[in-house]
Amino acid sequence: MTSAIQMVDITKTFPGVTANDNIDFSVDKAEIHGLLGENGAGKSVLMSILYGLYKPDSGDILVDGEKVDISGPSDAMRLGIGMVHQHFMLVPSLTVVENVILGREPTVNGVTLDMERMLRDVAESCKRYKLDVDIEAPVYQLPVGVQQRVEILKALYRGADVLILDEPTSVLTPGETEELFNAVRELKADGKTVIFISHKLREVLAICDRITVLKRGKVVGTVLAAETGEGQLAEMMVGRKIVYEFTKEAECGLEPVLRLEGLECLSDRGIPALRGLDLDLCGSEILGVAGVEGNGQTELVEAVMGLRELTGGSVKLDGQDITDTQPKTRIQMGVSHIPEDRHKRAIVPDFSVLENLVLGSQRDRFTRNGVSIDFAEAKRFSTDMINDYQIATPGPETLIRYLSGGNQQRVVVAREFSRDPPVVIAAQPTRGLDVGATEYVRRKLVEMRDHGAGVLLISADLDEIWALSDRVAVIYEGSIVAVKAVDETDVQEIGLLMAGGGNE
């Protein structure tokens, strides 16, 4: 049987890094092939080469046994290779149909768009692969899970036989993930080949036929999913055993460190996002906020940090009303924030590691006579942080954009936790991180708790909430519908509450 895709001896280096080091990788026809590895292992680079976004320094690519030259996405598409990127490549204001046909528009007379045919074709694909999408809606109105289906439709419309899914589940809720898996199985049944990039062991095991593990730009091995397990894969990825379980010893104290009362605010689209949300966060606890994405989690974090205007309610820190204070004041008072959107809110990509570490304290801790920044002190501090938090960077002067996602997050965590805050707001703190970095960030959160801080953990990953939290609050349609001690509830109950059901 010839392979659908064969990548032979691929090497790709970037300044200072060998992203792919003599990689051999092959995928059979109608196979779901997992590509597993930590962030920075070279998965995305390898697939970008296959999709023509990067040119390899050396190596060959064979499609259906024939050597091909892929110098751009259009070549890849012509060869039947489609890619669904981690960050969706959709134009928000265009409709689903317009996004799908963009670049390959059917016309009536060579000039005018053939609207009828567009709608018919896309609706047909939806039906055939059981992808449920409102094809005439503008994309910005759609939830993330549906946008992903649009991306898949796009690739299929372009005649993809091989579909590369780059970290497809990192943005999905458990329910959406299940739907995605069903669609992927449907694709396989139809003879399509799927390459599934992920760092989530369980998912790769659940959906893939074979799994290739990458580590630091090299292939560790390819295994049959049926003949391996989480333990073996994790070891292959990291090179050592991984421990996930943490102790849950903290008890809720007397006075909450953070008290949210009747929070109300609007979303970006101007509809109520928080509807009278009440929540108490105690010292020395991790309070997990579970909920299906889009139920007000983002707005909750912004409300606590002073990044979103409230239409009602109050925020109290240690009994002191901080509702009308600036974000700056809140940070100075000891509320630290790990934002969910790392690139937008947590780091300045074009600043150095040092600058990112100092950001926010430049006015007080690293100032000389209140005017200039004390760079000597900042450098000492950042060198310490790089050591303490094991940030893999060539040095403090390196631009943070060149670090992997996991190391960027270490910088954020280092910056926030070095202030020794009594309150930590951690929004999706491990999203998109590899196993090693995830473990690290989680351990730090637990450390902060043991140190006496109250940690509000907002996560779409129920496993994470389960592994870390002392108490779980369920958010649904902008308010907290239940708060349970972890050892007095179970996943089924929380799941039901998240779906808005069964509140006795």
In order of 143, 464, 472, the CA distances from 467 in angstroms are: 27, 5, 11
Q: Which residue has the tokens 């004041």?
A: 329
Closest CA to 428 of 453, 456, 389: 456
User: Is 92 among the residues that bind other proteins (CB under 8 A)?
Assistant: yes
- Number of residues forming the site for other proteins (CB under 8 A): 27
Task: Read off the amino acid at residue 497.
Answer: L
**Nearest to other proteins of 21, 75 (CB atom):** 75
Q: How far apart are CA 400 and CA 389, in angstroms?
A: 15
Closest CA to 222 of 214, 1, 230: 214
**Nearest to other proteins of 111, 271 (CB atom):** 111
Report the residue count for the chain. 504
Among positions 10, 23, 45, 90, the unique one binding other proteins when judged by CB under 8 A: 90
Q: How far is the CB of 158 from other proteins (least distance, A)?
A: 8
For the four alpha carbons of 495, 497, 502 and 503, in that order, the dihedral sign comes to: positive
Q: How far is the CB of 53 from other proteins (least distance, A)?
A: 6
Among positions 12, 33, 149, 154, the unique one binding other proteins when judged by CB under 8 A: 154
Q: How far is the CB of 83 from other proteins (least distance, A)?
A: 8
Task: Read off the amino acid at residue 121.
Answer: D
Q: How far is the CB of 113 from other proteins (least distance, A)?
A: 6
* Pairing of the two strands 310-317 and 320-321: antiparallel
Angle at 410 between CA 407 and CA 412, to 5 degrees: 115
Task: Read off the amino acid at residue 455.
Answer: V
Q: How far is the CB of 155 from other proteins (least distance, A)?
A: 10
* Candidates 92-100, 242-250, 308-316, 377-385; binding stretch for other proteins (CB under 8 A): 92-100
**Nearest to other proteins of 79, 211 (CB atom):** 79
Q: How far is the CB of 42 from other proteins (least distance, A)?
A: 16
> How many CB atoms within 10 Å of residue 16?
8
**Binding positions for other proteins, 93-152, rule CB under 8 A:** 93-94, 98-99, 101-105, 107, 111-113
**Nearest to other proteins of 98, 285 (CB atom):** 98
Q: How far is the CB of 107 from other proteins (least distance, A)?
A: 6
Q: How far is the CB of 22 from other proteins (least distance, A)?
A: 23
Q: How far is the CB of 77 from other proteins (least distance, A)?
A: 6
Q: How far is the CB of 39 from other proteins (least distance, A)?
A: 18
* Candidates 88-96, 189-197, 299-307, 438-446; binding stretch for other proteins (CB under 8 A): 88-96
In order of 19, 61, 359, the CA distances from 331 in angstroms are: 37, 51, 12
452 Cβ contact list (under 8 Å, min separation 6): 283, 284, 422
Look up residue 113 and give its DSSP letter: B
**Nearest to other proteins of 104, 380 (CB atom):** 104
Q: Extract the tokens encoding 139.
A: 């994309």
**Nearest to other proteins of 28, 75 (CB atom):** 75
**Nearest to other proteins of 52, 454 (CB atom):** 52
**Nearest to other proteins of 114, 439 (CB atom):** 114
Closest CA to 198 of 389, 385, 26, 41: 41
**Nearest to other proteins of 107, 372 (CB atom):** 107
- The site string for other proteins over 44-83 (x = CB under 8 A, - otherwise) reads ---------xx------------------xx--x-----x
Q: How far apart are CA 84 and CA 199, in angstroms?
A: 16
**Nearest to other proteins of 100, 234 (CB atom):** 100
Q: Extract the tokens encoding 326.
A: 């600036």
* Pairing of the two strands 81-84 and 256-266: unpaired
Summarize the chain as % helix, strand, coil (round to 5).
35, 30, 35
Chain positions contacting other proteins, by CB under 8 A: 53-54, 73-74, 77, 83, 85, 88-94, 98-99, 101-105, 107, 111-113, 154, 158
